[in-house]
A = this chain, B = another copy of it.
Amino acid sequence: MLLRQLFDKESSTYTYLIADEASGEAALIDPVDVHHDMYLRLLMELGLKLTVALDTHVHADHVTALGLLRESTGCATMVGFEGEVDCASEGLEDGKIINVGAVAINVIFTPGHTDDSFCFLVKDGDQNYLFTGDTLFIRGTGRTDFQNGDAGQLYDSLHQKVLTLPGNTLVYPGHDYKGWTVSTIGEELRANPRLEPETRDAFIELMDNLDLPDPKMMDVAVPANRECGLKK
């Protein structure tokens, strides 16, 4: 499996290119609209064909490139539940498997940051790669105070579906704001302060008292992303 991590400095978003080198099929996770041409260049340079572009959730801090990528490559686009985002070619659901050549992307429903948040798990030999979107960051988690976020749901998603994966599972987050690129489940269990509260109620209390400002692009990004980044 080929993996490339790409960084958008403006929103501190990580985009991931995953490919099966044998078949040349590729997927992009959480692509950002302004980098559309760069993605096409990278795909061409690597001799890859984009078959699917997918978002971990409807983002509030950047505009997705899903629509642009579908127009330019004809790839499938997936975000949110079936029917939630009209412009997506397919919806996501827990247990769905997205095949990218011989690479299988396992979809895990992890509501909490938003009510349409998913993580994507890929296994390559003995190594697990988990793309966590805003469900789990390196030493943090996504916030739960807008877009139907729910701290209790996030606690359940983390403790029942994410942190139960093997400790050496590589964690590739949707954002990082301090320059870190990757972690593991074991490392987060040891050192992530958001995982310290010992009860669901204590976690909810922590999250309910963060008092964060709204993301600066929220009013633009959410409506735009419900159109796959293509404004009407």
Q: Is the CB of A38 within 8 A of B178?
A: yes
Q: How far is the CB of A16 from chain B (nearest CB, A)?
A: 10
Assembly stoichiometry (copies): 2
Interface residues of A (CB under 8 A from B): 4-9, 35, 38, 42, 45-46, 178-182, 187, 190-191
Query: Contacts A35-B179, A38-B178, A181-B181 hold; do A45 and B191 have CB atoms under 8 A apart?
Result: yes
CA distance A9 to B180 in the complex (A): 11
Q: Specify which chain B residues have a CB less than 8 angstroms from the CB of A8 in the assembled complex.
A: 179
The residue of chain B having its C-beta at the shortest distance from the C-beta of A42 within the complex is B180
The residue of chain B having its C-beta at the shortest distance from the C-beta of A47 within the complex is B190
Q: Is the CB of B187 within 8 A of A6?
A: no
Q: Specify which chain B residues have a CB less than 8 angstroms from the CB of A191 in the assembled complex.
A: 45
Given A6-B181, A42-B180, 10 other A-B residues pairs in contact with their CB atoms under 8 A: A4-B180, A4-B181, A5-B182, A7-B7, A7-B179, A9-B9, A9-B179, A45-B187, A45-B191, A46-B187
Q: Is the CB of A7 within 8 A of B45?
A: no
